[in-house]
Amino acid sequence: MSAPAQASEGKTYSKVLLALFALTVITVLAASVDFGSGNAVIALVIASVKASLVALFFMHLRHEKSMNAIIFVSGLLFLGVFLTLCVIDTDTRDVIRPANPPRVAAPARPR
Amino acid sequence: MSDATAALEQHGNDPFLQHHFSNQQQQADAGKIGMWLFLVTEILLFGGLFVGFAIMQSLHREAFMQAHHHLDRSLGFLNTLVLLSSSFTMVMAVDSARTNRRKRTAVWLILTLVFAGVFLGVKYVEYSHKFAEGLLPGNYYHHPGDTVPGQFMFFSFYFMMTGLHGIHILAGMAAIGWALRRSLRGDFSGKYYTPVDLVGLYWHLVDLIWIYLFPLLYLIR
């Protein structure tokens, strides 16, 4: 609560809302163009910008004691660990050699 | 009179200061830390679904691609705008409470409830459309004329994620209703408005989750 007790921040909030609307329109427009695998990246980057605006302004993280931000960001960090390890696992199952190859009797070699 | 006695006197006169806190600031800070910890557990709750979605989508790209065409992009877009607006009205309610404008606090909270209702209304239209077409999760999926198999998986995620999110909207509406009742009763002032503040944090998190759900479910290609 470092903000002065009396001043209203309504104007800032309105600007943030307009930015969020604009980003929503941009993300819908970007989805109608084919960027190949870039589409998913663009959508997630825009979503993260929107999420940051909400967290910093609407959830007051930019004024807040740093403890709250640390809690929030460490939560996201663990979500990142969870996601990364899972994706690494499932995406590499085909390329990594099986640890226990099926035991098949070797065919008898022709002389 | 010693300082300690004076502080105690003052303490006793404030009906909204719990006896185990020394002042309002300390009480508000403690409440906020608790709320942020709770929000992290919420992120991890939805996180499991997001990770599951990412894995299944990468394994069954074609099915997810086909299935998401059944979603109405314009309704999803509309609901995103509605929910962002509700976040704005919520933060304005907190702002009005902080700056001691009680009537405005109530009006902004009512507006937030209205936007939340509109969101659920649009969701109802979407859901009934999916039900009618047999676009249901798992075993219940019976959409005729599919060329790509496995689309039921997308709808399992769709209903789990939007359903859990919808439950959070309902819980949020209950919390906003409670804050509204207390605000009409005149509990809040510039010195004490933590309940509105914390309900606001929860509401913004629900918005935050939708910000990711919308592109993932409606806009993937």
Residue B73: C-alpha distances to residues A29, A36, B79, B218 (Å):
11, 19, 10, 6
Count CB atoms within 10 A of the CB of residue B32: 21
CB B24 within 8 A of CB B17: yes
In chain B, what are the helix, strand and coil shares in percent, each to the nearest 5?
80, 0, 20
Which residues, 6+ apart, have CB-to-CB distance to A101 below 8 Å? Answer: none
Tell me how close the Cα of B160 comes to any Cα of chain A, in angstroms: 18
Tell me how close the Cα of B199 comes to any Cα of chain A, in angstroms: 11
Domain B22-218 has CATH 2.60.200.20: no
Which residues, 6+ apart, have CB-to-CB distance to A110 below 8 Å? Answer: none
Q: Which residue of B has its CA nearest to A33?
A: B221
CA distance A88 to A57: 34
Out of B90, B211, B221, closest to residue A31 by CB? B221
Instruction: For A61-90, write each residue's pLDDT tens digit.
Output: 998 889 999 999 999 999 999 999 998 888
pLDDT for A105 equals 65
Query: Quick check: B215 and A44 CB within 8 A?
Result: yes
Tell me how close the Cα of A62 comes to any Cα of chain B, in angstroms: 14
pLDDT for A110 equals 64
Residue with tokens 């226990």: A100
Tell me how close the Cα of B185 comes to any Cα of chain A, in angstroms: 22
Q: Which residue of B has its CA nearest to A32?
A: B219
Query: Quick check: B33 and A86 CB within 8 A?
Result: no
A91 close contact with B: CB closer than 8 A? yes
pLDDT for B148 equals 87
Radius of gyration of chain A measured on its C-alpha atoms: 24
Chain B residues closer than 8 Å to A51 by CB: 208, 211-212
Q: A25 in helix, strand or coil?
A: helix
Q: In chain A, which among 58-87 make CB contacts under 8 A with chain B?
A: 58-59, 64-65, 67-68, 71-72, 74-76, 78-79, 82-83, 86-87
Query: Quick check: B81 and A55 CB within 8 A?
Result: no
Query: Quick check: A54 and B200 CB within 8 A?
Result: no
Tell me how close the Cα of B189 comes to any Cα of chain A, in angstroms: 11
Instruction: For B5-24, write each residue's pLDDT tens digit.
Output: 655 556 667 888 888 898 88
Q: ipTM score here? A: 0.89
Chain A residues closer than 8 Å to B55 by CB: 86-87, 90
pLDDT exceeds 80 at position A103: no
pLDDT exceeds 90 at position A6: no
Q: What is the mean pLDDT of chain B?
A: 92
Q: In chain B, which among 67-96 make CB contacts under 8 A with chain A?
A: 73, 77, 80-81, 84-85, 87-88, 90-92, 95-96
Instruction: For B108-139, write each residue's pLDDT tens digit.
Output: 999 999 999 999 999 999 999 999 999 999 88
Instruction: For B20-66, write each residue's pLDDT tens digit.
Output: 898 888 999 999 999 999 999 999 999 999 999 999 998 899 999 99
**A83, two tokens:** 């996601």
Query: Quick check: B220 and A39 CB within 8 A?
Result: yes
Domain boundaries, chain B: 22-218
Query: Quick check: A71 and B221 CB within 8 A?
Result: no
DSSP notation for A26-77: HHHHHHTS--TTHHHHHHHHHHHHHHHHIIIIIT-TTTS-HHHHHHHHHHHH
CB B199 within 8 A of CB B187: no
Torsion over CA: B12, B16, B20, B26 (sign):
negative
User: Nearest Cα to B57, choosing from B175, B150, B146?
Assistant: B150
